[in-house]
Amino acid sequence: MSGRLGNAWRVGVASADLKLTLPLVLFALAVIVPALGWGIPHVNHPARLYAWGNDDQVPMASLAEMQNSIYGSPPNRNYAYPLGQHLVWSAFYAPVLGFELASGGMKAPSADFPFGFEDPVGSFERLAWVGRGVNVAMAIIALLAMYATGRMMGSRAGALVSALGLLFAWPFLYFARTGNPDAATMMWTCLGLSATAWILRDGYHRIPGVMLGICIAAASASKEQALGSFFLVVPTLLGLALLTRSERALRARAIDVLWSGVAFAVTFVVWQGIWLDPDRFMRHMELLVLAGAGGVGGPGYLRHLPGAEGRWLQAVDLFYQTVDAMTWPWLLVSLAGVAFAAVRARRQLILVLSAIGFFYMLMLVGFSRIHYVLAIAAVLLLFAGHLLGRGIEGPRSRWPVLAATVLLFVVPVLRAVDLTHDMRNDGRYAAGEFLRAQVQPGDRVLYFGAIIKLPRFPDGVDFIQVEYPPDARPTLLAQQPEWIAMVPEDTDEFRQRVNWRSGPHSVHSAYLPESLYRELDEGVAGYRLVGQFQSPRLLPRLARPFLTYPSVNPPVQLFLRDDRAGSLPRLEAWTTAPHNPPVGRINEPAPVRKVEDAG
C-alpha cells in the first residue's frame, strides 16, 4: 500500500493513539464480566431453550436460523431480526459444535430436542458463553471506536471520557452482557462514527469511505434501525466530498465514493445473508414494512398512535429516555459540548446529524424502549467528552474540570454496581434452589406468558402455558397442575403496555385474571403460596432507570397444590413488588382495550 491510500491508513491508525486502549479494555472487562453468566439457558426441557433476557438470541436463535436457512423454513419461523448477527455468532459456534461431534458430546444432530446432544444443558451453556463472549468483544470494540473518534476530534482525555461515558450509559452494560444484537449494532454504529470523524478531519478518502460503507451495511444487518444514524450524515459527507472546482480532485473523490458504495452493497448482501437464504431476506423485509404500517400486534402495540399529538408524545418519551440513559448532568454537558463545537469546530457538528437522524427515525415509530436511544447518547457523549477533555488538558482548568468529570460518573457508576448486584443475585437463583428441593419427577407447572422468565426447574417436569386471560381458569380446572409459577411482564396478550412497575401487575402476570389470583392467594382454589423470591437491591434508594421489561431480578411467586404442600407454610402474598426500583419517569398509559375478567 502506497501513496494517498497508504498515507490515509497511517494517519488513521496513528490517530487512534493506542496508549490508553489496553487499560480501557481491561477496565471494561472488569466492569462487564462479573455478571456475564446471568440467566444463561438451562436447556433441560424442549420449551426451556432461551435465556432470561428479553430477545436474548444466544445460542438457540442462531442455531435455529442456520438450520432453517440450510434445510428449510418451518411455518413459525421468526423473521424479526436480520440474519447478519446470527451469521457472526454461528461462525463462533461452529468450532464448539465441531468439538462436540469429535468428542462424542453430539451424535446424530437433529432439529428436535435434545438436538443430538448427550448433555444438552452443558452443551448449551458452553455455546451461550461463547455467544456472550462475542457480544462482550463487540461492546469493547464499540468503546474503542468511541475512543478513536474522540481522539480524532482532538482530545486524548476527552476520548477516554467519551468511551467510559458509553460504558456506563444505561443500559449499555446490560446489553454488553446478554445475547441481544444491540451490542453488535452499537459496535458497527460507533465504528461508523469513527469513519465519519476520520473523513471530517482528513477529507473523503477511500479507506475511511470504504470503512463507512461496511459499517453502515453491517449495522443495518444487525438491526435495521441503525440506518437512522447515517441517513443524514452520508448525503452531507458526499456533498462535501464532491464540492470542489478541481476536475481531477472531483474525479478522484467520485471514485472513492464509488468504492464506498461497492463496499456497502457487498457487505449488505453478505451480512444480510441474501447469498444463503434470499427468501428469508424477503420475508424479513415484508415484516418490516408491515411493522412500519402498524400491523404487527395491531394498533394496541403502539404506545402513541400516528398524528401530530402522537408524534409529540413520542418525542417527549424519547427525550426523557435519553435523559435516563445519560442522566441530566451528562446531557447538559453534552449540549454544552455541541455549543462549543459550533464555535470552535463547526465541521464536527456533522456528527450531530447522526443523533438528529436517529431521533427523527424513532419519532416515526409508535413506541420506544430505552436502549433504542443509545445511538443518540453515543453521539452526545462524544461532544461531552470533547468539552471535558479540553478542560482537563488545560493547565489552569485541569483539576476543577477533572473533579467535575469524576462527579459526573458517580450516579452512572452506582447504577452499574446496583444492576450488577441484581444480576448476580437474581431472585430466580434462590427460587431454583427451592424448587430443586420440592419438585418431584412428573410434576406439571402452569405459567403465564413467556416461559423464558421462569426460574430453573429440575429435570422431569412439564409445562402448561396460559396465553390469554380467559383461558386461565378453564386450564387450571382441567389440568390441576402441581405448581403455578408467576413472573410479571410488561404487556398483556395483545402486547399492550401494563404498569408492572408497581401495584398488582408488578407481582403477578397480566395474563392472570384478578379474581383467580385472589382465589389462589386466599387458598380457596386449592393452592398454597409456598415461595416468593426477589432479592433486595444493594442500593434501594438509587433511582435506577428501567430496562422497560422486568428482566432482571423480577418477583417470583410459586403456588403448590394443597395436597402436595404438606407442612410448607402458606405465605402472605405481596401486593406490590418489594424490591423493584422506584417508579421511573416514563409511565405507560392504560391499555386501549380491556379484557373481561374471566372470573
What pLDDT, in 10s, does the model give residues 325-348?
A: 999 999 999 999 999 999 999 999
Confidence of residue 295 (pLDDT cuts 50, 70, 90): very low
Question: Under a CB-based contact definition with an 8 Å cutoff, are residues 530 and 558 in contact?
Answer: yes
| Maximum mean pLDDT: which of 54-63, 133-142, 277-286, 581-590 | 133-142
pLDDT score of 299? 46
Q: Please give the pLDDT value at position 550.
A: 82
Cβ-Cβ contacts under 8 Å for 72 (sequence gap 6 or more): none
Mean pLDDT in residue range 197-201: 95
Inter-residue contact 299 to 305 (CB < 8 Å): yes
For the whole model, what pTM was predicted?
A: 0.93
Q: Residue 599: is its pLDDT beyond 50?
A: no
Most confident of 146-160, 235-249, 423-437: 423-437
pLDDT at 372: 93
Place of cell 446470527: 86
The cell for 103 is 468428542
Does residue 2 register a pLDDT over 60?
Answer: no
The answer, yes or no, to whether residue 557 has pLDDT greater than 80, is yes
CA nearest neighbour of 331 among 420, 411, 236, 219: 411
Q: What is the mean pLDDT of the chain?
A: 90
Mean pLDDT value of segment 348-362: 96
pLDDT greater at residue 108 or residue 349: 349
In angstroms, the CA 277 to CA 71 distance is 10
Contact (CB, 8 A) for 109 and 100: no
Mean pLDDT lowest among 381-395, 465-479, 494-508 = 494-508
Print burial letters for 3-32: b (CB count within 10 Å at least 16), e (below 16).
Answer: eeeeebeebbeebbbeebbeebbebbeebb
What pLDDT does residue 1 have? 41
pLDDT score at 501: 79
d(CA 456, CA 432): 5
Write down the pLDDT at residue 468.
84
Q: Give the N- to C-terminal CA distance of the chain in Å, as an integer.
A: 75
Mean pLDDT across the stretch 246-252? 87
Confidence class for position 184, pLDDT limits 50, 70, 90? very high
Least trusted range by pLDDT, from 178-182, 297-301, 353-357, 374-378: 297-301
CB 528 within 8 A of CB 559: yes
Per mean pLDDT, which range of 15-19, 223-227, 275-279, 315-319 is the poorest? 15-19
**What's the pLDDT at 431?**
98
Q: How confident is the model at residue 294 (pLDDT cuts 50, 70, 90)?
A: low
The C-alpha cell at 255 is 471514485
| Residue extents of the structural domains in the chain | 3-40+132-423, 426-565
Give, in order, the Cα–Cα distances in Å from 464 to each of 448, 449, 484: 9, 10, 9
- The model's pLDDT over 38-96, given as tens digits with 9 standing for 90+, comes to 999 999 999 999 999 999 999 999 999 999 999 888 888 889 899 999 999 999 999 99
